[in-house]
Amino acid sequence: MADIKPAKRIERVEEYYFSKKLQEIREMNDRGLDVINLGIGSPDLPPSKEVIETLNNHSQNSNNHGYQSYTGIPELRNAFATWYSKSYGIKLDPSTEILPLMGSKEGIMHISMAFLNPGDIVLVPNPGYPAYRSASELVGAKVQEYSLLEENNWIPDVNALENELKEGTKLMWINYPNMPTGQPGNPDLFTKLIDFAHKHNILIINDNPYSFILNNNPSSLLAIDGAKDVMIELNSLSKSHNMAGWRIGMAAAKAEFIQYILRVKSNMDSGMFKPLQLAAAKALEANMAWHQEQNKIYSLRRDKIRKIFDFLNCEYDVNQTGLFIWARIPKAKKTGKDFAEEILQRSRVFIAPGFIFGSNGNNYIRASLCQPIEVIDKAEKRIRENQEK
């Protein structure tokens, strides 16, 4: 009987936590338990009407269904460049410094493949987005965690990084505004990180999809002098424009770095559907008034989630930004994992446990703002009726 083994690289990674947990929730729903999901950051709101109309109109054109350029159509690259100019005050050459992606998660893997050799060391935040670790391990790199701590406002201690730096460190992942903690970035932090990258010849990747959600000051690491020489920024329409399932993202960097990523990308896909790109370009025309309307909705939801956390005796920072509320569990509770499971089983409400983002998240849980008010109200009612304080 054949005994075909998988590649050794997948021995180092596991199925994404949310993939497994969503299957468990589906099975609970199939049993009639009606689980309310407050764990996943998938926007339930639609993009603007003009975006959907653009997709529909251009999909009717029979000439728009063929293969497209690996670098994206000029209309989309130009729209990204205009968006960066008006939103962040950053000038990018749309022909050489922007690469549209099928979602920024694709970019995490492409960048890892383009820049990392087996054995290279990658600095990954703890807590942080799990894909940074898994992509690094899939290409054979070694992960070195750096701590983000509540007492340090969830920003890296650059002096500690200096002391702990190992020979062979090639790349560093950062993510501000931060997920899962909601900590916004600031120019002082960004300047320290760029100086650190120059000093140690390290490539920094800033994953920046949350800068427009409940955040009055969208920022980009590219605004720092000298940043382009040592960094790449990923951005996405998933959260900022309610287009998560559309898979529209981008990488912004100097032309040399874009070409390295393109060598990988051009061997991985055959271009993005043109009507999707044209619709994305339309979405990028949205003014701040559109974002403000979205944020009014998210602000009301945030107030509701805070009421749930207040009832549960959880602690949170009221200055958080982004699409989630990150909260410390009560001291009487052992771990965030156990607490989240207790809420799920007792109240049929799923809140994400913080451990999935790293060991520094063990005593935290995270709730999403991606459910309507009436659903959050229903979740609160269940928790109040079934959960011990």
Give residue-wise pLDDT tens across range 301-347: 999 999 999 999 999 999 999 999 999 999 999 999 999 999 999 99
Averaged pLDDT for residues 232-237: 98
- Tokens describing residue 192: 């320290």
Average pLDDT over residues 93-121: 97
Contact status, residue 325 vs residue 316, Cβ threshold 8 Å:
yes
pLDDT at 388: 67
> Are 52 and 253 contacting, i.e. CB atoms less than 8 angstroms apart?
no
Topology of 15-44+288-386 in CATH? Aspartate Aminotransferase, domain 1 (3.90.1150)
What would the pLDDT profile of 210-234 be if each residue is shown by its tens digit?
A: 999 999 899 999 999 999 999 999 9
In this model, does residue 387 exceed pLDDT 90?
no
- 50-283: CATH topology is Aspartate Aminotransferase; domain 2 (3.40.640)
What local confidence, expressed as pLDDT, does residue 139 receive? 96
What is the rounded (10 degree) CA torsion for 107, 123, 239, 271? 0
Domain with CATH 3.40.640.10 in the chain: 50-283
Q: Diameter of the chain by CA atoms?
A: 64
Within the chain, all domains assigned CATH 3.90.1150.10 are found at 15-44+288-386
Q: Give the C-alpha distances (Å, rounded to integers) separating 269 from 67, 102, 229, 236, 257.
A: 10, 9, 27, 18, 19
DSSP 3-state assignment of 311?
Answer: helix
